[in-house]
Structures are given as C-alpha cells and as structure tokens.
C-alpha cells in the first residue's frame, strides 16, 4: 500500500533564506497560513511564511477534502459561506486543477435523534438561505444508489463542494508567491522576540527576522510554540486514519457520512474513506492540564474518543517533548519536520469493511493508500481566531477542529484584515481566546 505523498524527504520548493525584515511573519504553512499570506500579498503587504517542514505536509493535505457549509457552527457559517465563494475565485486565479467540484455533502441519519439534530441545523440554514434540505428514507435511497441499508433520512446541501487537499494547498502557495509572498520551507520558527509587551521579531533556525506582526497558524504545534511565551491555549490533537481506494464505480459524486463511515468521491475515480466519528487522543501533559475544559465534549460524545497513554517521540504533547528551549538551540519543531502519524491497521480494515458493507455490490474495496493525520481540536469544537491582547502584534488562528480546509480561505481573508487593522466583516467574538479564561461556559459547536 502506498503511503502519504508528502514527507520531509520531498524536495524543498521554497529554500529561502528568510529575509532580515518582514512586515508580517506567519508561522505555519497549512491552509490558514498560506491563504493569509496570499491575501496579505494581494494588498502588497510584505509577508514571510515560515514552514518547519513542507507546505501542506501535515493536516492541511491529510483531511477529507470536504468544503461544506452544512453542519457548521452558527458563528462559523458566515465565514464558510465567504470561503465557498473564495474557493471558486482562487481556483480560477491559480490556474491549476485542484479537483474543485460542486457535488454536495450529505449526512445520513441512523435514528430519529439524528434527524432531530438535522432539523436544528435547518433553522440556521434558513437564516442564511442555504439550499440545505432534509430527505426522507425514499429520497435518501434515491440520492445515493445501491446502499445496503435503509436510513431514516438525510440532510444534504447540493451547493457544498469537494477538492483534493494535497493539490489545492500547494497550488494556493504558488499563487501566494506569484502575488509577492515569501515562503521559506525547512525553516522552523523557534521563538518570538518580545519587548515592552510587543512583538519585535522572530528567531528562526536560519536567523532573526525583524517584524511587527506575527501570526501563529501552526495547527497541532501552535499551543507548544505559544506556551513558551506565556500564552496558554487549551488545544489538543487527535489522530485519525484515512484511506484512498483504487478507482471504483460511482455511487455518489459528493461526500457523505453516517456514524460509521465517511466517504468522498475523488478526482482519480476512487473514494477517500474515514471512520464517521472516531479518533485517538494521546494522553500527554497538555491533555491532563486541560482535561476539565474537555469534559462537556466528552459527555456529549463519550465513545468518540479512544485514549493511548504515550505519544510517539517528538509529538506536540509527548511526555518527552521539551516545553522550553533557547532561540539559539534546536527546537522541537526541527526535530519533527513533518508530523506523519502512521495509520491504524485496524482503522484501515474497519473503513474498508464498513464501505463494503454499505455497498455490497462492490466485489472488493481495494485501498491504494492509507495515512494518519493529527487534527488540532478545541474544547468547544470551534477555532481560536484572535489577537493576543497581552502581546501587541501577535495573532493566532488555530484549533480548526477538523473544519480548517473548507473554511480556510475565509479565515485567511479575515486574519489578513485583522493584521492590517481593518474591519473583518464578521463577528469574531465566538472565536476569542479569552473565552476559555473569562468564566464563559463551554458552548459546544454542533457535532455534525
């Protein structure tokens, strides 16, 4: 079986060196960092993006490739509606085939309880005039042909889209560079230089960059980087297993999921498969530090998370991962250039079995690739998108909680304007960092 296409052995596309000065420095070369750089460069703002390994090599290319408005948190929805428009615009601008197709997203209901959740989202969808609709059992069977079981019904949004993440994010990075952004791969940001309560620069493994604005968009690594500077984010990372099949007959052109299996039609004629609601959490120091804040999510879905006591060496919340280091010495980010978790063999067998059970007309389901990914999660399943009030010029966009790819261009545009001091066009109070420390109760986003 083939492994994931991105590794730290891949050729460096953006070798640097980094500049001595840059108006804005972005830490992290995933979908959020890349699109923020793209929008800043479009405004002729000098911006440098630092990536410790390779652009898009971690979760931004390992996700399911869904671009959905359906099932979003009510406060995320306006941004993802904008993101959907931006995906079309940027796909045209980059001039590359990124597999962007409007083929719909469908959630399948196993029970009346599932249908009740869908009906709750329909109220939000109506406010925003989405084309989301509920289907009964007969309509569901007609939408996705050949399913072996009869579902209670479904919720579907025909205007939702899909794209190929490992094509899309690198293509957007190339577009950002053409617009004037500077990207430097294999160059870890080690630490911030802070003076009189403001960012003054960034120490990297290749030297110092003077700057007045820094965005930390490091995905699973954001909390580790910021904690060194006294900025605490209750972010954890969970491991998921994903697989790609060989080309198969089409049963549905879009993406769909129930409690057991999620599948998406791929550009190559196969399907991307994953478990519908299962992930693995490594129990490290941060997991225990933030445990109480995750209790509401645990109570809401007590069987969705499995636990393992030790993360592999070098992982962000590993027991042996350093929490402090000097700017002139190697950091944890250099020791783990690409976070490349192995897929769980049992997980691969499970998605293969569940897909075959749902579509028994397939004589076999042959997997051509399997991979793992680390999803950066927050206690309320919505991200942090904010300016750090205690440190002038420091911004953070992280904890996308599995929603980052689809909403990425919208967050990138919002953060680019936030950094410039412009109006963002959206109410971002839901995403403030202080919600975890100002006594606000944890308000869970929808588990859809």
pLDDT by residue (tens digit) across 163-172? 999 999 999 9
Provide the token pair at 87.
């995906």
Pick the range with the lowest mean pLDDT from 78-87, 117-126, 195-204, 282-291: 282-291
Give exposure, 310-327, as e/b (b: 16+ Cβ within 10 Å).
ebeeebbbbeebeeeeeb
What is the per-residue pLDDT for 3?
66
Mean pLDDT of 334-351: 94
Distance (Å, whole) CA 324 – CA 228: 6
What is the per-residue pLDDT for 343?
92
Q: Which residue has the higher pLDDT, 306 or 125?
A: 125
Mean pLDDT of 428-433: 97
What is the per-residue pLDDT for 2?
62
Enter the DSSP assignment of 30.
S
CA atoms within 13 A of residue 370's CA, in its CB half-sphere: 18
Q: Does residue 304 surpass a pLDDT of 80?
A: no
Q: Does residue 402 surpass a pLDDT of 80?
A: yes
Distance (Å, whole) CA 139 – CA 254: 16
Q: Does residue 232 surpass a pLDDT of 80?
A: yes
What is the per-residue pLDDT for 302?
63
Q: Does residue 1 surpass a pLDDT of 60?
A: no
Provide the token pair at 247.
């080309």
Tens digit of each residue's pLDDT (9 = 90 or more) over 12-47: 999 999 999 999 999 999 999 999 999 999 999 999
What is the per-residue pLDDT for 295?
85
Contact predicate 279/374, CB 8 Å = no
Provide the token pair at 60.
């931004």
What is the per-residue pLDDT for 115?
97
What is the per-residue pLDDT for 7?
84
Contact predicate 249/61, CB 8 Å = no
First vs last C-alpha separation in the chain: 31
Q: Which residue has the higher pLDDT, 310 or 120?
A: 120
Distance (Å, whole) CA 84 – CA 104: 12
**Residue whose pair of structure tokens reads 């997980």 in the numeric block:** 347
What is the per-residue pLDDT for 261?
95
Q: Virtual CA dihedral for 386, 339, 277, 352, nearest 10 degrees?
A: 150
Mean pLDDT of 315-342: 95
Q: Virtual CA dihedral for 249, 252, 258, 263, nearest 10 degrees?
A: 60
Distance (Å, whole) CA 237 – CA 284: 10
What is the per-residue pLDDT for 446?
82
Cis peptide before 17 (omega within 30 of 0): yes
Enter the DSSP assignment of 200.
E
Q: Characterize the bridge pairing of strands 153-157 and 161-162.
A: unpaired
Q: CB 295: neighbour CB atoms within 10 A?
A: 11
Alpha helices in 95-164 (DSSP H): 112-127, 137-143
């Amino acid at each position: 079986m083939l492994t994931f296409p991105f590794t730290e052995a891949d050729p460096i596309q953006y070798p640097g060196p980094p500049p001595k000065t840059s108006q804005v420095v972005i830490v992290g070369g995933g979908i959020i960092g890349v699109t923020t750089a793209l929008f800043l460069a479009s405004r002729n703002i000098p911006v440098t993006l630092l990536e410790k390994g390779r652009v898009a090599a971690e979760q931004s290319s390992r996700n399911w490739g869904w671009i959905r408005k359906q099932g979003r948190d009510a406060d995320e929805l306006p941004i993802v509606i904008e993101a959907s428009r931006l995906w079309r615009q940027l796909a045209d601008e980059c001039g590359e085939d990124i597999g962007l197709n409007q083929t719909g997203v469908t959630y399948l209901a196993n029970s009346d309880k599932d249908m009740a959740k869908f009906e709750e989202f329909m109220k939000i969808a109506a406010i925003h005039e989405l084309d989301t609709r509920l289907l009964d059992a007969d309509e569901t069977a007609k939408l996705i042909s050949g399913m072996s079981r009869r579902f209670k019904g479904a919720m579907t949004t025909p205007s939702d889209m899909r794209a190929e993440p490992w094509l899309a994010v690198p293509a957007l990075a190339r577009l950002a560079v053409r617009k004037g952004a500077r990207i430097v791969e294999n160059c870890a940001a080690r630490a911030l230089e802070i003076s009189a309560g403001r960012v003054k620069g960034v120490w990297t493994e290749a030297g110092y960059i003077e700057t007045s604005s820094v965005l930390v968009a490091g995905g699973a690594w954001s909390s580790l980087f910021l904690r060194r500077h006294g900025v605490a984010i209750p972010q954890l990372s969970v491991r998921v297993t994903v697989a790609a099949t060989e080309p198969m007959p089409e049963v549905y052109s879009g993406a769909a999921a129930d409690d057991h299996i999620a599948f998406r039609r791929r550009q190559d004629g196969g399907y991307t498969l994953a478990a519908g609601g299962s992930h693995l959490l490594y129990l490290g120091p941060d997991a225990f530090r933030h445990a109480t804040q995750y209790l509401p999510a645990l109570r809401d879905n007590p069987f969705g998370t499995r636990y393992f006591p030790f993360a592999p060496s070098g992982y962000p919340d590993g027991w042996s991962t350093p929490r402090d280091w000097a700017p002139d010495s190697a950091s944890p980010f250099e020791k783990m250039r690409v976070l490349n978790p192995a897929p769980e063999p049992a997980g691969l067998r499970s998605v293969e079995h569940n897909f075959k059970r749902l579509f028994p007309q397939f004589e076999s389901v042959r997997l051509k690739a399997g991979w793992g990914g680390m999803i950066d999660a927050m206690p309320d399943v919505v991200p942090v998108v904010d300016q750090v009030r205690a440190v002038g010029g420091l911004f953070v966009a992280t904890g996308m909680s599995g929603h980052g790819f689809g909403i990425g261009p919208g967050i990138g545009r919002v953060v680019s304007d936030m950094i410039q001091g412009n109006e963002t066009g959206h109410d971002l109070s839901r995403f403030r960092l202080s919600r975890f420390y100002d006594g606000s109760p944890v308000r869970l986003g929808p588990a859809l």
